[in-house]
Structure 1
Amino acid sequence: MKFRILSLKILSVLLLFTSCSKEENDFISQNCETDCTEIIGKIMTDNGTVPIPDVELTVKWDNIPYLGSGTIRNKATTRTDSEGNFNLKFYIRDDEIEAGGFRIEYELNENEYLSSHLNRITIFQIARDTTLNINYNIPKKAFLNLSLLNLNDMQIGDDLATDFSYASPSGFDQSVTGQVIGWSNESEQNNLIEVAGNVPVELRIRRKINGVSTSEIETLFLEAGTTSDYTIDTDFNN
């Protein structure tokens, strides 16, 4: 499948260089009674309307500099209830105040949810005796069988890009909000694209033909877990 991903708008992605690092547990911090930090919220799907129960979440303190060695410390763990609610309580050590940052890490079934391996809630540095509210929406996955007609007629200087976007619901963070794909005359005509299911997907088609740029927008709605066909006439033969 020959297409190039121009950009993938992802919030809360953290790259860890752990070859020379160590990971340790500090789950005893969950037993704190004073100066505790709490993180409460929901893990939801379908535009923030459907809870995802029994998701395991772990708060980690990360003190690994870029391309360096350091420590990852597991601070607290819990699971979402039947309504998607979670509550994490832990004590922040002195060295955790001075350096590093915190994140919530979890995994979901990547066959059902969109880019689940990227779902990390990054919260950076937080203080003791603080309550933080985080609501997170995870889009379910659907597929678009995208056909591009007359793509081989694309000339030097011409351009074609498809922008798939799906907004975060109000009051929720969301790591994946769409992707822009650039196409060339060497791209395959038929391509299977992963998009968000059960939510409106805004498809923007951008063309540049003979120096003239145009753009059109269409809203799609794909049921999660299904595959739908969509055809774009690139117009490069006109």
Structure 2
Amino acid sequence: MKKSLIILVIIAFAFQSCEKEDDLISQNCEADCTEIVGKLMTDDGTTPITNQKITVVWDNTSLGFGTVRTKATARTDSNGDFSISFFMRDDELESGIHRMRFDRLNENEFLRSDLNGMPSIPSVRDTLVVRNHNIVKKAFVNLTLLNLDDIQGSDRLWTNFEYPRPSGFSQSIDGNIRGWTNEFDSNQLLETAGNQPVVIEIVRKINDITTRENDTLFIDAGKTLDYIVDFNN
């Protein structure tokens, strides 16, 4: 059997070995329930994401093997609020993790359109968990990099775009770090956060001396901001 065919067989077996189960009856629990309440928002935690289906699963998989069990579903209301209650089985208290997920949002509008960044749910019965989550909208920076040819030897240039999360919220993405050399084009169109503050840190290492410079930007979602970084300045 050829090596490529063997790999395909292994991959197919791995997918078949991940079992999916429904346990939606658990959301009808009346005692020892785990309850999750929170908000699903955007625009720095100010605009609700409405009528979004949220699902809680128990994930007990590793390398494609194991079980993913659907526990409960709910939808956000007009304020972005949601509430989910369900019962954790004995085996769920011993292994695996409980996590939340939702259908992906419009990737043309949002910088990161899934529940990346939302903490997992503690495997504890009869408890209340608060999960407020901000999903970052997309904007752009038209970055002009000057004097890249002067980056030589051990010299370095980085741009670190940070997206501070609203207080009390987890967030789908917190930033993006890029390193630049003399091999890059001087013009770069970068995706970044829109409708919320963006802190850009510019780090230069010249002749083994490192300096840092900070600036704060605000870009309307879907719009592009021109920005210049000079390696020598």
Residue 121 of structure 2 contacts residue 129 of structure 2 at CA under 8 Å; is this kept in 1? Answer: no
Q: Partner residue of 1:97?
A: 93
TM-score (norm 2): 0.89
Query: Residue 43 of structure 1: CA displacement?
Result: 0.5
Aligned residue in 2 for 1:25: 22
Give how far 1:198 is off: 1.1
Q: CA deviation at 1:120?
A: 5.7
8 Å Cα contact 2:160/2:178 also seen in 1: yes
Report the AA paired with residue 49 of structure 1.
T
4+ aligned runs moved over 4 Å, structure 1: none
The amino acid across from 2:72 in the alignment is A
Q: Which amino acid aligns with 1:163?
A: N
- SS of 1:176's equivalent? coil
Residue 224 (1) aligns with residue 221 (2) = yes
| Aligned partner of residue 74 in structure 1, secondary structure | strand
Matched, 1:73 2:48: no
Shift of the alpha carbon at 1:30?
1.2
Q: Does 1:37 align with 2:34?
A: yes
CA distance in 1, matches of 2:93, 2:123: 8
What is the Cα deviation at residue 212 of structure 1?
1.9
Secondary structure of the residue aligned to 1:64 is strand
Max Rg structure: 2
1:165-176 equivalent positions in 2, closer than 5 A: 165-176=162-173
Residue 235 in 1 paired to residue 232 in 2?
yes
**Where is the helix percentage greater, Structure 1 or Structure 2?**
2
Residues of 2 paired with 1:146 and 1:228: CA distance? 8
| 1:15-63 per-position Cα deviation (integer Å, ceiling 9, x unaligned) | xx85631111111111112221110000011111111111111001011
Q: 2:110 aligns to what SS in structure 1?
A: coil
Pick 1 or 2: higher relative contact order, CA cutoff 8 A, min separation 6: 1
Task: Choose the corresponding residue for 1:47, options 44, 47, 50.
Answer: 44
Are the counterparts in 1 of residues 137 and 194 from structure 2 also a CA contact under 8 Å?
A: yes
Task: Tell me, yes or no, if the aligned pair for 2:101 and 2:115 is still in contact at 8 Å.
Answer: no
Whichever residue aligns with residue 69 of structure 1, its letter is F
Q: Count how many residue pairs are aligned between Structure 1 and Structure 2.
A: 219
Unpaired segments ≥5 residues, structure 1? 1-16
Q: Over the residues paired in the alignment, what is the CA RMSD in angstroms?
A: 1.7
1:1-238, aligned counterparts within 5 Å?
A: 20-65=17-62, 67=63, 69-106=65-102, 107-117=104-114, 119=116, 121-235=118-232
Partner of 1:157, secondary structure, is coil
Distance 1:206 1:120 in 2: 26
Equivalent position SS for 1:104 = strand
